[in-house]
Amino acid sequence: MNGLSPAVSRLLALALLAAAALGAWVGIVEPVKLRFAELDRTIEQSRDLLSRHMRIARERQQLEAQLTTLRETQSTLGRLIEGDSVELAAAGVQNRLKALTEANDAELKSTQILPAEDGETFRKVAVRVTMMADTEAAQAVFHALETATPYLFLDRIDLRGPKRRSRNKRKNLGILQVRFDVFGYMRIDGS
């Protein structure tokens, strides 16, 4: 290399230095820069994915709450007394009692709507009943009330023989005065 002029030697040295710098840039800096850009994209995708999963988790909690509510509603569907008010619900119970007593050859003497009792989510609707029936008819009415839907329950059952008998003792034989409370539940508005 002694035969080169100093200017050419300097240019050649500068060219080698530039080539080494370019080689270092292409071989080291550019791949690191590309890897950082790729990692930035991966981080951004991960953030998007995380935000979607968090949104889905929130929606899942809401959907699970709705599902629980629907299951509770479905589990009580048909089992609760329907009506916009206690009076309408009790009237439905009275109509059912009337139909059952007529169908079982019993005589419905009176019904009285009792004051409603509120629980947390349900309201107890009760009716006091007096009917005349023989043992089989009373049993059939009781069975029909307790096994059908909406669910109704019997309480304070009082069976009494007739207070006075007619001249024909066989006529009143087996006829009982039956008093009882029948109650069911209705959902309180808003629950």
124 in Cβ contact with 151 (< 8 Å): no
* Global pTM value: 0.55
- List, for residues 99-153, the tens digit of each pLDDT value: 999 999 999 998 898 888 888 778 889 999 999 999 899 999 999 888 888 888 8
Q: Give percent helix, percent strand, percent coil of the chain, each to the nearest 5.
A: 55, 25, 20
Confidence of residue 51 (pLDDT cuts 50, 70, 90): very high
Average pLDDT in the chain? 83
4 in the Ramachandran plot: left (φ > 0), alpha (ψ -120 to 50) or beta? beta
**pLDDT at residue 41, rounded to an integer:** 93
Lowest mean pLDDT among 83-97, 139-153, 161-175: 161-175
Cα dist. 104→95, 99, 172, 182 in Å?
A: 14, 9, 17, 17
**pLDDT at residue 128, rounded to an integer:** 93
146 in Cβ contact with 154 (< 8 Å): yes
pLDDT exceeds 90 at position 23: no
Quick one: 86-187 is in which CATH superfamily?
Ribosomal protein S6/Translation elongation factor EF1B (3.30.70.60)
CA distance 85 to 125: 10
Confidence of residue 166 (pLDDT cuts 50, 70, 90): low
pLDDT exceeds 60 at position 16: yes
* Domain range annotation of the chain: 1-77, 86-187
Confidence of residue 191 (pLDDT cuts 50, 70, 90): very low
Confidence of residue 69 (pLDDT cuts 50, 70, 90): confident
